[in-house]
Amino acid sequence: MKKHTTSQSPPQRFRLPMNDEGIFSGCEISDMLIHCVISFDKRIDENRMSEAVRLTLDAEPVLGCRLGANWWRMYWERRTDLDSLELFKITVSEDVEEEVIRFLSVPADPRKDPQVGVLLIRSETDTLCIKVNHTVSDAGGVKTYAYLLASVYRNLADNPGYKPEINLNGSRSMRQVSRQFGIMDKLRIIRRTFRDLKINVFPRRYCSFLLNKGDMSDRAFVILRIGPDLFRAVKSYGRRRGATINDIILTAIFRGFADLINPPSEVPLRLVTTVDFRRFLRTGRSGAICNLSGILYLKTEHKAEAEFDDTLLQVRDQMNFIKGDFIGLGNHPYFVIPSLISPAFFNLWLGKKMADALFRNLHNIPPGFTNMGAIDAEQLVFGDAEVTDAFLTAPVIFTPFFLIGLSGFGESITISAGFSGASVNRPVVEGVLGRIKRELVLLA
């Protein structure tokens, strides 16, 4: 790649926003990588794409950093070796799916490796694979990055000397969300915190789903595609019942787990899921690429002979209630407060201890689901190469924990799961996703 220069240099050090530090402790249970896979109807210009990738690391300077830490705080430090790093790679293969899975399974360390990596898989047409470290961005930020990459690539076609504007002042902090609320709303959020604490603790007995403990380096993905016909049928089914696609997928997941583990009828099933706090911003966009995600817990009362509609009613009503009461914000203080009042070395130690505690009390850990949202086809435009498909995948979760990811593009959705211990867990994961699809097919 040619030597890259800019007329304006990003700063050498960034203060780490408070919400990032808590997320970094998640490296104990996942590989902390979020992916975006984009398929084209033809081949793209690989030299222009290579230059576009490098320029995006100036447009969003934090992406061109490595994660550092002193005893008190973690921080982002601008790398001086960006022009010598292999940020963009090309491979030629007729087995695109195999190459995609291989790329999705390769780990990266935010303290040493680039925060962004891009692979172009070349066959008769091209497939572009992007990975972004979760320490620097959540799924909403990865979509923003994909749109940025598309924009820079387009602009380079018309102007080979194009330099994107450098985002030096965009907020990466959770404060951009908190400042949307007045004092009364903040008091209601505190009430939400106590409600969520109760939900998190009780019931003390519930059923969970765990994979077999396996080799953390033996990683794989199972990817399930829901095409336009089934998507439209499911959407229509939900519309008639006042339920969203998210409600229906959650219901299918609950029922899939119940079918697999056959829990006692008096013991509820629990699930932890995510929420994008950009929903609280007036524009729906953050000031810069960052983490603005939270978690919440759901449960269903399992009944062996329950119909899909019975379970859907429970899920729909829970979600409607939670959406109307500052969804996800109640849990956020648990992650923010430690990073504000204690030093970095203690927070990292605490994160490891919490992960160790999870491994000692496995049956208290519910499986996870993250809806990463729809990819906007109108923003994902690369010029004359048309995007025919795109999807996101959540990080690989180390067994025995389990996470299912969902993303949408046009009239299709992709459900995926990345996991370790692949040699022993692949049939189980395929069985779970197969049960979810079966539930959806039965609706149609």
Amino acid 68 reads G
- CATH assignment at residue 274: 3.30.559.30
* Residue 24, pLDDT above cutoff 60: no
pLDDT of residue 3: 45
What pLDDT is recorded for position 9? 64
Domain containing residue 51: 13-158
Q: Which long-range contacts (C-beta less than 8 Å, at least 24 apart) are formed by 148-155?
A: 148/56, 148/59, 148/60, 149/52, 149/53, 149/56, 149/118, 150/379, 150/380, 150/381, 150/382, 152/52, 152/55, 152/56, 152/59, 153/44, 153/48, 153/49, 153/52, 153/382, 153/383, 154/381, 154/382, 154/383
Strand ranges in 45-108 using DSSP code E only, listed in sequence order: 65-69, 74-78, 88-92
Assign 397 to helix, strand or coil: strand
Q: How confident is the model at residue 26 (pLDDT cuts 50, 70, 90)?
A: low
Number of folded domains that form the chain:
2
163 within domain boundaries:
no
For residue 265, the model assigns a pLDDT of 76
Enumerate residues 6+ apart whose C-beta is below 8 A from 344: 21, 69, 70, 71, 72, 73, 74
Q: Is residue 199 part of a domain?
A: yes
* CA dist., res. 440 & res. 430, Å (int): 15
For residues 184 and 85, state if they share a domain.
Answer: no
Clarify whether residues 293 and 323 are in a common domain: yes
- Binned at pLDDT 50, 70 and 90, residue 367 comes out as very high
Average pLDDT for residues 434-444, to the nearest whole number? 94
- pLDDT value for 19: 43
- pLDDT of 16 reads 45
CA atoms within 13 Å, Cβ hemisphere of 61: 23
Task: Identify the domain boundary among 105, 125, 158.
Answer: 158
The predicted model scores a pTM of 0.92
Strand boundaries in 363-411, DSSP class E:
368-375, 387-393, 403-409
Whether the predicted pLDDT of 349 surpasses 90: no
